[in-house]
Structure 1
Amino acid sequence: MAGWMNLVNEWLVRALVLSSLAAHLVVVVLAAVRRREASGWRRGVLWLANQVADLASAQTLGNLFLGSTSREKQLVAFWVSFLLIHMGRPDNISAYSMEDSVLSARSVMAAIFQIAGAIYVLIKHIINGGGGGGGGTTFVVASIVMFLVGIVKYTERIGALWLGDLGSIQSSGKKLNRASLSVGQLEIGDDEQALLAAHRLMHITKGAFADYSSVEAEHKSSDGNDDGSRWNWSHGWEQLCRLVEMELSLMYDVLYTKAAVIHTWHGYCIRFATLLFTAVAFWLFWLSSKHGYRWSDVCITYLLLVVTFVLEVRWLLRALASTWTHAFFTNTNSRLRHAALCSGRWRRFRRFVVSLDLRRVSEPSSYRMWSGKIGQYNLLYECTRDKEYKYHYSGALHISSPVRDILFNNIWNKLKSAYPPEDKRVKAFMPIEEKKKEKKEEKEEKEKDSSFRRRNKLDKALGFAPELQDDILTDHLATDIFLQCSGQKGAACAIVKTIELLSNYMLFLVIVRPYMLPGLKIRSTYTATRDALHQQWCQVEAEEIKGCSSSSCATTEWKLASNLSMNVGDKDNAGPLYDRSVILHDGARKAKRLLKMAAKYGLHRALETILGEWVKTLIYVSTRCSRDSHAKQLSHGGELTTIVWMLAEHASIFLIAEDARQW
């Protein structure tokens, strides 16, 4: 029995090492899916591989830490360095979720204990046990070299987690020299140019996520003069939106990958060193004697060395060809900057590396763009569909080009109304005393919480209401009732599709992603409204059975919407519908007013009014959502509200120049 258990333990260690390697490769391949996917089987596999990489490494390390010394375990102990590399994660992922970046004393101590345990295994099984057999001195040196690689990789991940924490970003951002952040006139052509421009504006996005102001940096050039007029967004929202999407993708890199530690002098040096050390370890192991080792263990060791070397080559090429490297050289005053960027060598090198990835040859930066998919939830459909009554929604609706144009045009117009341009001709003739007074007021304003003041200005301009979730439920019902009763539900008209998309999206956030909404997360309000609407539908069905239905060929949603419209009174706080649900009553009354508006002023005006209200709500939700929630959603495919939030942040800083208002 004891022999059987020993055999199981021996092969368990080997199975765990191979599992850790397989999980590491899966993480390498699938890590990027979080940029554009909120759910799906690939995310599930990635999560599982991420867990296996940690568990397998910890279990193997514990087995060797507590086990007895033997010649056979010398080679197995050599594998611990690769387990450290796996726990250190590949360059394209450092944190699976925002919670991983919140380092506590306990997590730091756990990392220290694991590294200390690996060093103990090295000393116990290889250094002290290496003289009696096995590969001898060359094997000991190879083990020490690979252990250094593993420790560096694991430590680097801890550093990436630390730098990816929003608190650390805030601390480092406040220490920056604002005068050095001037970017001047940007050229945004294709996606590659937009990405390079986004690097130059990353301080805006970092400032928004970490809650420190970058307004001063944008309005002052390096010589201290006002530079706001140099921003020219002549193509409207398209240019700025593409730039914002690129910036958010770069923010994803900062929060969830090792970008913050890779693209530094020591980060590049580490990649060169680990590649060299891995090659040296492979060469030394090749020269060392294999006497006393199992053939299967030798094969596993070669597999680990080869895979690690290939990945190190990949990480070095990706690091050097990344636009992060371009940004690094841009901010470096050295001959290397001139040799790499001005000569065009870096761009040629980047094209070569990109050509190795056949998926990105045509447009190497397009993968950084937002997927354009948003969730949808419709309450009338949910309560009238034939299936058994349960939770149901669609989370993968792609915004079509006509709808996107209407949506962002309206967002752009709302932002322009909130941040009108300054009339510089009036300022030119302003008395000196008034100019001094204005400069003093501007200085006092900058000393206060500028982000709050800018957001408050937007709130006043759009007339936001405080009861957000109730308003969304009410407006969603009013919108659907209006569209059903006016015959516009499902119409091919682009404005109707935009209204439906926004209405269903905002309710999707209330139900599925309440953390993306400001204020209290009270699910009971939605539950009560849903139950009341379901009861109302049951009543409609009962009336149909009695022969009271006037349109048996109508859709179920139209029947329910028509019933709600007919059963609401013209007075507040009155009628059976009000007794059943205040939100149902208010939604039906609002729909009735919209129907009267359409009859009096025309359908198009009513639709424009509804769309305007939904756009205001979208902007409010976007700008009032917590920064942590926006950051969390970056690793779940991104969110429309985050795009809108960044558009508002940029608009408030650039003040949307006068020439952009004429597009």
Structure 2
Amino acid sequence: MLVSAGGGLFLMERRRVMQIFPERVRKLWNVWELRVTVVLSLCLQVVLIIFGNRRKFTTRNWVRVVLWMAYLSADWIATVSLGILSQNQGDSPDANALITAFWAPFLLVHLGGPDTVTAYSLEDNELWLRHFLGLIVQVGVAFYIFLRSWTTHVLTFLALPIYVAGIVKYGERTWVLRSASNEQFRDSLLPPPDPGPDYVKFMEVYNSRKAQGLDVSYQTVIETPELHVVKGNTIPEAKLLHEAFFLFNMLKRLFASLILSFKIRQDCMSIVKFKSALDAFRIVEIELGLMYDVLYTKASVVYTRLGAFLRLVTFLSSLSALVAFWVMIDKHDYSKIDTYVSYLLLVGAIVLETYAVFLLIRTDWCLFWLSKQKNSLATFFYRVLTSSRLALISNKRWSESMGQFNLISVCLKDNPPPKHDLAMNFLFSIREMIERYRYKTLEIVSIQLKELVFKQLHSKSNTCQSSENFKKFCSRRGDYVLEINNCIDEFRWSVTDVELDHSILLWHVATNLCYYSDLQRLKEGDLDSKRKTGKSLSDYMMYILVWRPFMLPKGIGLTRYRDTCAEARRYFDKRRESIAIDNISQACMALLEVSTEISPSAVKGDRSKSALFDGCVLAKSLQSLETKEWWGRERKWEMICDVWVEILCYAACRCEWNVHAQQLRRGGELLTLVSLLMAHLGFSEQYQISQGHATVKFK
């Protein structure tokens, strides 16, 4: 009997477990088991198609948990159902066996999965060969069931179009997983092999001319390619969409870890450099949305002519089977419940196909295709879809938010219990995780922040004249801002003389102290956007350090964070004995009262990695800037914001692109958007071809 290993193990284990229950319960379960698993398989497909695409633009944990459970359960339930079906088929099938065999091709359709999710994570793409084996095995099981239940009854022939739809769906899924795997994705972007000019032929001509006494001098000519211009279209509003698709096709190489040429750098800069900050970020958002579709959905197949044809085939197959079942089948020959299940599977297949088409026409892929058509009907549909987009479905391409995590807020809570044994350690880790969730918040990425990031990158891009300059700016993490503000000597120790994670902790503590110190002196309404932006960036980078440490260069960031938290809790506990510390503002003012005449590192040595009181030293130095000539509170906060932007950009370009790709399924990260924006403006280590093609010519 052809059953998968998972399904076979389940069937054997099922027999053992069922022995525990009374005979009456076992008989009842045997009657309803197949019906329950088949309906459950359909329900899981509904969950997958609804939630499959939502994680692209949401950071809610419950969405990911529900999708994860449905993704893992869907294949297993469908496989088990096929195993039960194959086990129930006898040599002479009766009416009940005949109609249950009719359900087998629907399980193949379910194994093919919806268009909105093919892979839960990038690792699933690497398992495409396992899915290919599953395709062969499960199609074999379905064919076995078909043969065992073969009769001349019309119901047998009605299953054929569903078999076609199931094989198409399952084949699509396997092909998409293969296309999105690291090796295949990289190979698809490699250009054809280029041997260059014919060296042997050139030398033959050279020797021939030399033998004839002719001039044999030659020169090397470097080709200067022209800038690419994105062609216009009939819909002016679609210009950004066309530019995003052009950049997407070029910069998929980033995600495949391929090198880029200066020609690509020039083309990207010619498009993005003259955009506003909002348009530049919108282009990047469109690109990352497209990349999510390629890596985690059936986009690489569905949004092609072949994909559209296959979708029409699967829809018509389900529709024809439903009509034929309703018209040609005598419902009195079968039990009512089996008839209802059959109708549910048929209607469910059509509803899922219809909903998939609805989702398809709401995507940037469809809008891009419509905007390229040179007719009034396509223009009309484009305007209808874009005008009603907010009313029909979310047009968000990522979460548009950034995580916030404040170290001082976390440390104000009571001290965690000490660790004792293994059980206590486990309970402590669970409590610590829950506490971290309590203090993690989300904040919308503001327009001011986007403009601040784009302004700094645009300014640096204008000053770069060579690849070396671009690489130099990629290595800056606050020191360039301090240099142009003529205070690098005073603050060098907090940026270039320490590791990135240490620098983040220092500036996070200092930013909080400066923020709440100014808040004590000013009214809430008097705090300008620079202060709020600086505070948001500070909390975001601390969120990355604690929640996404794999996006930062390797270091001991979590050790420094834990040591800093331990020292802060100890200090706050001691201060509570004499002074009430009820909120973060009071805690920051208490920290500023600590005398830091002697360097904390001189007292603590290398035993503790805490950066708490080093941050206090930095905060006092920043506050003292206000007393200097040409300095003030506004300029101080402008410099703090610029330092944080430079740290953000440094971390963004140091993060591997496969890590960025993983974050797309969690709603996306601001760090990823900044990294792609930097690549568009020329800041990337993957730009390694610094000149055009060389051609040698005789003079």
TM-score by length of 2: 0.76
Candidates 25, 32, 36, aligned match of 1:11: 32
| Cα deviation, residue 275, structure 1 | 1.6
Of 191, 198, 213, the residue aligned with 2:244 is 198
Matches within 5 A, 1:438-449: none
* Cα deviation, residue 200, structure 1: 2.4
Deviation at 1:74, TM superposition (A): 2.2
Q: Deviations over 1:521-548 (max 9, x none)?
A: 6522221221111111122223x1xxxx
Shift of 1:261: 0.8
Contact 1:598/1:606 (8 A) holds in 2: yes
1:266 aligns with 2:315: no
Gap change, CA 1:102 and 1:561, over 3 Å in 2: farther
CA offsets 1:611-631 (integer angstroms, 9 cap, x no match): 121111111111111212211
Matched letter for residue 83 of structure 1:
L
**Equivalent residue of 2:611, what SS?**
helix
Cα drift, residue 388 of structure 1: 7.3
Partner of 1:223: none
Shift of 1:53: 2.1
- What is the alpha-carbon distance in structure 2 between the residues aligned to residue 527 and residue 615 of structure 1? 25
Cα distance change on mapping 1:461 and 1:296 into 2, 3 Å: closer
1:619 partner letter: C
Distance in 2, Cα, partners of 1:86 & 1:25: 10
In 2, Cα distance between equivalents of 1:108 and 1:87: 12
The range that moved more, 86-95 or 479-488, is 479-488
1:606 aligned residue: 636
Q: Which residue of 2 aligns with 1:399?
A: 444
Secondary structure in structure 1 of the residue aligned to 2:118: coil
CA contact (8 A) 1:511 1:523 kept: yes
Per-residue CA deviations over 1:31-90 (Å, capped at 9, x if unaligned) read 222022112434433333333322321221121223342422222222122222222121
Instruction: Give how far 1:320 is off.
Output: 5.8
| C-alpha separation in 2, matches of 1:638 and 1:229 | 24
Give the alignment partner of residue 109 of structure 1, picking from 100, 125, 133.
Answer: 133
Q: Which residues in structure 2 correspond to 1:38-117 (within 5 Å)? A: 38-69=59-90, 70-71=93-94, 72-103=96-127, 105-117=129-141
Among all aligned residue pairs of Structure 1 and Structure 2, give the percentage whose two residues are the same amino acid.
28
Instruction: State the superposition RMSD in angstroms.
Output: 3.6
Matched, 1:373 2:373: no
Q: 1:278 corresponds to which letter in structure 2?
A: S
Q: Is the aligned partner of 1:118 residue 2:142?
A: yes
Q: Does 1:161 align with 2:185?
A: no
Instruction: Please say if 1:502 is aligned against 2:548.
Output: no
Structure 2 counterpart SS, 1:567: coil
| Cα 1:145/1:492, change in 2 over 3 Å | same
How far apart in 1 are the matches of 2:265 and 2:595?
56
The residue matched to 1:397 in structure 2 has which SS? strand
**Residue 37 (structure 1) aligns with:** 58
Correspondence 1:526 to 2:561: yes
**1:292-349: CA deviation from partner (whole Å, max 9, x where unpaired):** 421111111112112212332343455467542465688xxxxxx8xxx111333334
Query: 1:80-126 CA deviation, whole Å, 9 max, x = no partner?
Result: 222222221211222222222222544432343223222222222x3
Contact persistence 2:511–2:619 (CA under 8 A): yes
**What's 2:601 paired with?**
573
Corresponding residue of 2:681 = 651
Give 1:270 deviation, angstroms. Answer: 0.4
Cα gap change, 1:311 to 1:484, in 2 (>3 Å): closer
Give me the whole-angstrom Cα distance separating, in 1, the residues matched to 2:559 and 2:606: 18
Higher normalized contact order (CA 8 Å, seq sep 6+, divided by chain length)? 2
8 Å Cα contact 2:128/2:181 also seen in 1: no
Tell me how far apart the structure 1 counterparts of residues 58 and 147 of structure 2 sit (CA, whole Å): 44
Q: Which of 152, 158, 161 does residue 142 from structure 1 map onto?
A: 158
Question: Residues 209-236 of structure 1: CA distance to partner in whole angstroms, max 9, x if unpaired?
Answer: 222245455468xxxxxx6885474443
CA 1:505–1:229 in structure 2 vs 1: closer, same or farther (change >3 Å)?
closer
Question: What residue in structure 2 maps to residue 633 of structure 1?
Answer: 663
Cα–Cα, structure 1 residues 212 and 625, in superposed 2: closer, same or farther, change >3 Å?
same
**Cα distance, 1:148 vs structure 2:** 1.5
Q: Distance in 2 between matches of 1:346 and 1:387?
A: 63
1:374–1:398 CA contact under 8 A, matched in 2 = yes
> What does residue 9 of structure 2 align with?
none
Cα pair 2:265 2:682 within 8 Å, conserved: no
Q: CA deviation at 1:634?
A: 0.8
Q: Determine helix, strand or coil for the equivalent of 2:60.
A: coil
Q: Is the 8 A contact 1:199 1:324 kept in 2?
A: no
Letter in 1 for 2:545: V
The 5 A counterparts of 1:154-303 are 154-175=170-191, 182-184=228-230, 193-215=239-261, 218=264, 231=271, 233-286=273-326, 287-290=328-331, 292-303=333-344
Match in the other structure for 1:562: 590
| Equivalent position of 2:576 in the other structure | 541
Alpha-carbon distance between aligned partners in 1 of 2:453 and 2:508, rounded to the nearest angstrom: 19
Q: Tell me, yes or no, if the aligned pair for 2:559 and 2:609 is still in contact at 8 Å.
A: no
1:151 lines up with 2:167 in the alignment: yes
Q: Distance in 2 between matches of 1:586 and 1:578?
A: 13
* Matching residue's letter, 1:533: A
- One-letter amino acid matched to 2:615: G
Give how far 1:644 is off.
0.6
Which segment drifts farther, 73-82 or 44-53? 44-53
Deviation at 1:156, TM superposition (A): 0.5
Q: For residues 207 and 647 of structure 1, do their structure 2 counterparts lie closer, same or farther at Cα, with a shift above 3 Å needed? A: same
TM-score where L is the length of structure 1: 0.80
Which moves more between the two structures, 504-513 or 166-175? 166-175
8 Å contact kept, 1:455–1:623: no
Q: In the alignment, is residue 344 of structure 1 matched against residue 344 of structure 2?
A: no
8 Å Cα contact 1:376-1:395 kept in structure 2? yes
State how far apart, in whole Å, the 1-side matches of 2:89 and 2:659 are: 48
Structure 1 residues 273 and 288: alpha-carbon distance in aligned structure 2, compared to 1, 3 A threshold: same
CA change 1:185–1:148 in 2 (3 A) is closer
Shift of 1:24: 1.2
Cα separation, 1, equivalents of 2:49 and 2:226: 36
Cα separation, 2, equivalents of 1:453 and 1:328: 39
Cα distance in structure 2, aligned partners of 1:243 and 1:594: 37
Match in the other structure for 1:448: none
Q: Counterparts of 2:575 and 2:161 in 1: how far apart (Å)?
A: 76
Aligned partner of 1:251: which letter? Answer: M
Tell me if structure 2 keeps the 8 A contact 1:481–1:562.
Answer: no
Question: CA, structure 1 residues 409+321, in 2 after alignment: closer, same or farther (shift >3 Å)?
Answer: closer
Extract unaligned runs of 5+ from structure 2.
Answer: 1-21, 195-224, 418-431, 480-494, 685-699
What CA distance in whole angstroms lies between the structure 2 residues aligned with 1:378 and 1:409? 24
What's the CA shift string for 1:459-515, capped at 9, x where partnerless? Answer: 259657471212211221122223334446966321111111111111111111222
- Residue 477 of structure 1 pairs with residue 509 of structure 2: yes
1:588 maps to a residue whose letter is C
Structure 2: distance between partners of 1:234 and 1:182? 15
SS in 2 for 1:376: strand
Residue identity matched to 1:173 = L
* Separation (CA, whole Å) in 2 of partners of 1:277 and 1:555: 64
Report the CA distance shift for 1:190/1:582 in structure 2 as closer, same or farther (over 3 A).
farther
Structure 1 unmatched runs, 5+: 221-226, 331-336, 424-441, 446-451, 655-663
SS in 1 for 2:501: helix
Q: Is this contact kept in 2: 1:485–1:558, CA < 8 A?
A: no
Query: What is the number of residues matched between the two proteins?
Result: 591
Q: What code does the residue aligned with 2:376 have?
A: G
Partners of 1:644 and 1:409 in 2: CA distance: 12
User: Displacement, 1:376?
Assistant: 1.0
Distance, in Å, in 2 between the alignment partners of 1:301 and 1:610 is 65
Q: Tell me whether 1:468 sits opposite 2:500 in the alignment.
A: yes
